[in-house]
Amino acid sequence: MTRRYRYGIIGTGIPWKQEGATGFGMANPHYRGFTATDRTTLVAIANTNDDHARLFKSRHGLHCPVYHDYREMLSKERLDIVSICTWPHLHAEMTIAACEAGVRAIHCEKPMATTWGDAKRMRAVAESSGAILSFNHQRRFLAPFQSAKRLIESGSIGAIERMEATCGDMSDWGTHWLDMMFYFNEETPAEWVLGQIDSREEVRTFGVWTEQQAVSHFKFKNGVRAALYTGFEANIGGPAIRVTGSEGVLEILWESPWLRYKMAKDADWRIVNSDEGIHGEAAIDRACADLVDCLERPGHAPLLTVEHAIQHTEVIFATFESSRRRGRIDLPLTADDSALIDLVQRGEIGPSRSS
């Protein structure tokens, strides 16, 4: 008899672009992705907002119980899999509670956490409990990125020398592009980070204070250099991500055609056609299926494992720390807080900055 896994969701939200939505309502694509595996049964929801829970149940034709206290759900429902779809400041406490409750697999929204110390604790508790912990950096599953990785691995542009990327902010969008850099560079750890941030106005993304402009320059242990530019006037001249090798260059574009590359001998770009772009919920379906596979296949590690997420999360917090210390940060990062939040609270950056 084929086993079905008991599945629970913490935080339903409201679907993106619907009235009252304050985010993307990621519980909806999570639910669809896990349900599509035909190996899970949603047995419970935890949500403090009854209206949101009712909307979610009605939308999906569900009859499962709703808990106001997610800890009560974890203690009573004997869950195999949990989706954590809340705002970032709650990720750490909920992930740790799920691990301690014996949940076997946890799929958490990104970014990992709002401090470096919380991110490290999440990984440590998952390791000690034996839980499989993944984060929804789902773009690894999309065709343009997988094609780019294959081209890099095949040596089409030679050995990677440097990477550049641009986006709106470090913690929300930037977590995806940093994840891609580690993905393209075979998950090689970073060695040091040199960064600067600017935050003149209060801008929050899913409740978390977000810088308005940043530069993060860092070096991988294999010698590859990388840079992420965010916010104000951050464009690097066309692509979202550029990978420069010893024998050519590769670019991920913001629109179709999504991927192109040029070898040293080429006069023009080679276009890699794709039916998929750099967005799309199909990637979340694949991420959910991959996590279920981890339960089915002992020893199989998810493509979105915590070990991948922790590396680029360290670069984010090290960038903030570099701005606070006004110098290069040699890794591992030792400061457990968020230097960005600390600088804002002390009035060194932000609207309350002293003249």
Is 163 within the bounds of a domain? yes
At residue 205, the pLDDT reads 85
Q: State how far the Cα of 227 lies from the Cα of 241, in Å rounded to an integer.
A: 10
Residues 86 and 168 in one domain: no
At residue 222, the pLDDT reads 98
Round the average pLDDT of the chain to a whole number and report it.
Answer: 94
Residues 69 and 200 in one domain: no
Residues 55 and 130 in one domain: yes
Is 354 within the bounds of a domain? no
At residue 66, the pLDDT reads 97
Residues 80 and 100 in one domain: yes
Q: Is-contact 13 45, C-beta < 8 A?
A: no
The answer, yes or no, to whether residue 19 has pLDDT greater than 70, is no
Residues 131 and 80 in one domain: yes
Q: Is-contact 68 46, C-beta < 8 A?
A: yes
At residue 207, the pLDDT reads 87
Residue type, 69: D
Residues 190 and 324 in one domain: yes
Q: Cα–Cα–Cα angle for 289, 316, 178, nearest 5°? A: 50
Residues 218 and 250 in one domain: yes
Residues 26 and 114 in one domain: yes
DSSP annotation string for 312-329: HHHHHHHHHHHHHHTS-E
**Which of 208, 230, 195, 11 has the alpha carbon at shortest distance from 114?**
208
Taking only the tens place, the pLDDT of each residue in 245-265 is 999 999 999 999 999 999 999
Residues 196 and 287 in one domain: no
Is 194 within the bounds of a domain? yes
Strands 248-252 and 241-245: antiparallel
Taking only the tens place, the pLDDT of each residue in 215-248 is 999 999 999 999 999 999 998 888 999 999 999 9
Residues 174 and 322 in one domain: yes
Is 355 within the bounds of a domain? no
Is 77 within the bounds of a domain? yes
At residue 13, the pLDDT reads 77
Q: How many CB atoms lie within 10 A of CB 165?
A: 25
Question: What is the domain count for the chain?
Answer: 2
- What are the CA-CA distances from residue 212 to residues 148, 167, 196, 317, 350 (Å)? 29, 11, 11, 15, 10
Residue 239 token pair: 């692509």
Q: State how far the Cα of 309 lies from the Cα of 88, in Å rounded to an integer.
A: 14
Is 350 within the bounds of a domain? no
Q: Across 15-19, 76-80, 299-303, which has the greatest mean pLDDT?
A: 76-80
Taking only the tens place, the pLDDT of each residue in 267-300 is 999 999 999 999 988 999 999 999 999 999 888 8
- Summarize the confidence of residues 330-340 as an average pLDDT: 98
Taking only the tens place, the pLDDT of each residue in 72-108 is 999 999 999 999 999 999 999 999 999 999 999 999 9
At residue 15, the pLDDT reads 63
**Domain holding 97: CATH number?**
3.40.50.720
The answer, yes or no, to whether residue 1 has pLDDT greater than 80, is no
Residues 319 and 339 in one domain: yes
The answer, yes or no, to whether residue 310 has pLDDT greater than 50, is yes
Is 233 within the bounds of a domain? yes
Is 92 within the bounds of a domain? yes
**Domain holding 148: CATH number?**
3.30.360.10
Q: State how far the Cα of 108 lies from the Cα of 10, in Å rounded to an integer.
A: 10
State which residues form the domain around 22: 5-138+282-303
Q: DSSP label at 354?
A: -
Residue 44 DSSP SS3 = strand
Residues 330 and 215 in one domain: yes
At residue 85, the pLDDT reads 96
- What are the CA-CA distances from residue 14 to residues 26, 44, 45, 173, 265 (Å)? 8, 17, 14, 20, 51
